[in-house]
Amino acid sequence: MKAVYDKAHWQRHPKTELDGGQLVTPYESPERAEYVKSSVTESGIAQWLDPKDFGLAAITRTHDAAYIDFLTTCWQQWQDTGKAGEAIPAVWPGRRMQQVVPTDIDGQLGYYSFAAESSISDGTWEAAYASCQVALTAAEQVGHGEHAFGLCRPPGHHAAFDYFGGYCFINNAAVCAQYLLDQGDQKIAILDVDFHHGNGTQDIFYRRADVHFFSLHGDPLLVFPHFSGYENEIGAGPGEGANHNWVYGPGTTFAQWQVGLNEALQLIQAGGFDRLIISLGVDTFEHDPISFFKLTTDDYLSVGAAIASVQLPTLFLLEGGYAVEAIGVNVAKVLIGFEQ
Ligand code: Q9C
Ligand code: ZN
């Protein structure tokens, strides 16, 4: 399959993540992408392409233009105020407060985010933009009927129409779904196998019938993003019935998780979709430091094989996975299992 990588991901290099009341080295590190690049290259299944530039217009088809404006200016605004650390939101509009866009950068950070772990620093916008162009370059191949892998960093599935969080700034999968529709597709399926609920993707398509969203994830009563991902979230208006969540508890094995995977794949198989997008997180791994599923490296071969069974042109986009040295192999296993 075709695969796309851009070293510009290195521009996303924050020093801090707010975790347990401390500023720690971020889990979502540049090394992650390099391990994936090496393992996928070693597997021999990828033909690497250089990223193309589809411009900002492809992104503002899916995201609020004012939010994108904020992302492009945030770091400069933060620096202009002379603050010592990286940009971290610390205030949000609570229930019954006004949804206004403050002029002050602390207010803007709160308005345009839903969580505080993802510090913004020098190069964050540039890397997020490049990550999305990697995804779009891979999506173009899938539009031509090929399968492709976008080695996206930073990830995207927590980024909603107009807010960031969960290490995500631009929703790469959502931008690609819209791109494929704009190229003539009628109906796209997005299957999110990351450990965390893809709240951003769900948000963007919740009232739409042209993109159906399927997500398997840790129970939000117990894990991030906490306020999204419950099984009663089925879509609304024209999108009613087009959103599907499967939640699992601590210690979930592949045998248990696979039940939801197969239900999702059956719905996708029967749904008349033109193309399939996989939000490929491997934080479902047994040794992931921030997650609680128990998938093994060999299980990822079966994940890939199961996805292949629906026989749609498929776009894989990297999302999470924090057991740094294992994520490369685990991602490669999914792609190998898919191609076999
Ligand atoms: N103590 C993705 O997998 N909470 N994002 C982490 C760590 C945020 C995960 C808590 C997790 C975000 C793309
Ligand atoms: Zn995740």
Average pLDDT along the chain, 340 residues, taken 10 residues at a time:
98 98 98 98 98 98 98 98 97 98 98 98 98 99 98 99 99 99 98 99 98 99 98 98 99 98 98 99 98 98 98 99 97 98
- Atom of ligand 1 at shortest distance to CA of 166? 12
Closest by CA position to 313, among listed 279, 278, 340, 274: 274
112-144 pLDDT tens trace: 999 999 999 999 999 999 999 999 999 999 999
Which ligand is nearest to the Cα of residue 283, counting in written order?
A: 2
Compute, in angstroms, the gap from residue 311 CA to the centroid of ligand 1: 31
Compute, in angstroms, the gap from residue 157 CA to the centroid of ligand 1: 11
- The reply to whether 284 falls in a domain is yes
268-312 pLDDT tens trace: 999 999 999 999 999 999 999 999 999 999 999 999 999 999 999
Q: What residues have their beta carbon closer than 5 A to ion ligand 2? A: 194-196, 281, 283, 320
Domain limits at 138?
Answer: 2-14+27-53+123-339
Helix (H), strand (E) counts: the chain: 10, 10
Say which of 63, 157, 158, 217 is annotated catalytic: 158
φ/ψ (deg, to 5) at 244 = -135, 120
Closest by CA position to 153, among listed 129, 136, 122: 129
- The reply to whether 299 falls in a domain is yes
Task: For residue 158, indicate whether it is catalytic.
Answer: yes
- The tally of CA atoms less than 13 A away on the side-chain side of residue 312 is 26
- Number of domains making up the chain: 1
Find out whether the beta carbon of 6 lies less than 6 Å from any atom of ligand 1: no
Q: CA 121 to CA 79: how far, in whole Å?
A: 9
In this prediction, residue 311 carries a pLDDT of 98
- The reply to whether 144 falls in a domain is yes
- The reply to whether 151 falls in a domain is yes
- The reply to whether 83 falls in a domain is no
pTM of the model: 0.99
- The reply to whether 207 falls in a domain is yes
Compute, in angstroms, the gap from residue 225 CA to the centroid of ligand 1: 8
159-177 pLDDT tens trace: 999 999 999 999 999 999 9
Instruction: Look at residue 308 and give its three-state secondary structure.
Output: helix
In this prediction, residue 161 carries a pLDDT of 99
CA 40 to chain centre: 19
Where residue 256 sits, what CATH number does that domain have? 3.40.800.20
